Amino acid sequence: MKQNPQATDSSTKEEGAVPARGGTVPCFVEQSLVEDAFRSRLRDAHFHRFGFQPTAAELDVMVRKEFALAAKRLRPEFSNRAERDAAPQASVALSAPTIFPDDRQWQDAKAATEYAQSQGIDSVMEAVRWYQLHRESFESAPDTVHCVDEFLCVKRAEGCSSMTLAGYQSKLRRFGAAFAQRRPAEITPREIGSWIVAQSAHPRTRLDWWQTLRTFFEWGKRMRFVHENPVPLGLSRPKPPRGSQLVFTPLEVRRILRLVRDTDQLGFWVLAVFAGLRTEEIRRLQRFNHRWNLVRLRSAVIDLPHEIAKTYARRVPILPVLRPWLEIVAARRLPFFPPSHYVNCRRLRNRVLAPRTAAFDEKHRGDQSKIPPSRWAFNIARRTYISYRLASGDANYAELSHEVGNSEAMLREYYVRHVTREDAKIFFALTPDRI
Label residue 284 exposed, middle or buried (CB < 10 Å: 0-12, 13-18, 19+). Answer: buried
Residues 104-116: b if buried by 16+ CB within 10 A, e if exposed: eebeebeebbeeb
Q: Which of 205, 234, 263 is the last residue of a domain?
A: 234
Band (273; pLDDT cuts 50, 70, 90): very high
Task: State residue 81's pLDDT score.
Answer: 61
Domain presence at residue 188: yes
> What number is the average pLDDT over the span 76-83?
60
Does residue 156 belong to any structural domain of this protein? yes
pLDDT tens, 247-268? Answer: 899 999 999 999 999 999 999 9
List 314's β-bridge partners, or say none.
304
227/275 same-domain check: no
Instruction: Indicate if 75 and 206 belong to the same structural domain.
Output: no
CATH of the domain at 350: 1.10.443.10
Confidence bin at 195 (pLDDT 50/70/90): very high
User: In this structure, are 26 and 149 located in the same domain?
Assistant: no
Specify the DSSP element, H or E, that contains 135: helix 124-139
CA dihedral over 318, 323, 327, 329, signed as positive or negative? negative
pLDDT confidence tier of residue 114, bands split at 50, 70 and 90:
confident
111 domain residue, yes or no: no
Closest CA to 432 of 302, 322, 297: 322
Q: Which residues pair with 416 in a beta bridge?
A: none
Dihedral (Cα; 389, 391, 397, 399), 10-degree rounding: -40
Helix (H) or strand (E) holding 120: none
Whether residues 338 and 426 share a domain: the answer is: yes
CA dist., res. 145 & res. 179, Å (int): 8
Q: Which residues pair with 302 in a beta bridge?
A: 295, 316
Q: How far is CA 373 from CA 244, 254, 268, in A?
A: 8, 19, 22
DSSP state of 406: -
Q: Label residue 133 by pLDDT band (50, 70, 90).
A: low
State whether the Cα torsion 196-198-200-202 is positive or negative: positive
- Judging by DSSP bridges, how do beta strands 295-296 and 301-304 pair with one another? antiparallel
Same domain, 230 and 260: no
Measure the CA–CA gap between 229 and 221, rounded to whole angstroms: 7
- Decide if 109 is inside a domain: no
pLDDT in tens, 295-337: 999 999 999 998 899 888 999 999 999 999 999 999 999 999 9
Residue 171 in domain: yes
Cα gap 427→389, rounded to integer Å: 9
| Backbone phi and psi for residue 343, each to the nearest 5 degrees, phi listed first | -70, -50
Residues 262 and 378 in one domain: yes
Q: Measured in whole angstroms, how far is the alpha carbon of residue 262 from the centre of its chain?
A: 46
Q: Which of 165, 199, 234 is the last residue of a domain?
A: 234
43 and 96 share one domain: yes
Kindly state whether residues 262 and 174 are assigned to the same domain: no
Angle between helices 266-275 and 250-260 (to 10 degrees): 160
Q: How many domains does the chain have?
A: 3
Residues 90 and 208 in one domain: no
Residues paired with residue 4 on neighbouring β-strands, in sequence order: none
Domain span at 65: 19-101
In sign, the C-alpha dihedral spanning 235, 237, 242, 248 is: positive
Residue 126 is assigned to a structural domain of this protein: no
Residue 376 has pLDDT above 90, yes or no: no
- CA-CA distance, 258 to 256, in Å (whole number)? 5
Output the pLDDT for position 126: 73
Residue 112 lies in a domain: no
CA distance 376 to 353: 11
User: How does DSSP assign 53-118, residue by residue?
Assistant: PPPHHHHHHHHHHHHHHHHHHH----SSHHHHHHS-HHHHHHTSPPPPP-HHHHHHHHHHHHHHHH
302 assigned to some structural domain: yes
The last residue of a domain, from among 101, 134, 169: 101
Q: For the segment 229-241, what is each residue's pLDDT rounded down to a tens digit?
A: 999 999 999 987 6
CATH number for position 212: 1.10.150.130
Extract long-range pairs of 248-251: CB within 8 Å, 24+ residues apart: 248/273, 248/352, 248/380, 248/381, 248/384, 249/423, 250/423, 250/426, 250/427, 250/430
Instruction: Verify that 97 and 198 share a domain, yes or no.
Output: no
Pick from 67-76, 112-121, 225-234 the range whose average pLDDT is largest: 225-234
The C-alpha atoms of residue 59 and residue 64 are separated, in whole angstroms, by 9
Rounded to two decimals, the pTM is 0.58
Residues 396 and 293 in one domain: yes
Does one domain contain both 307 and 383?
Answer: yes
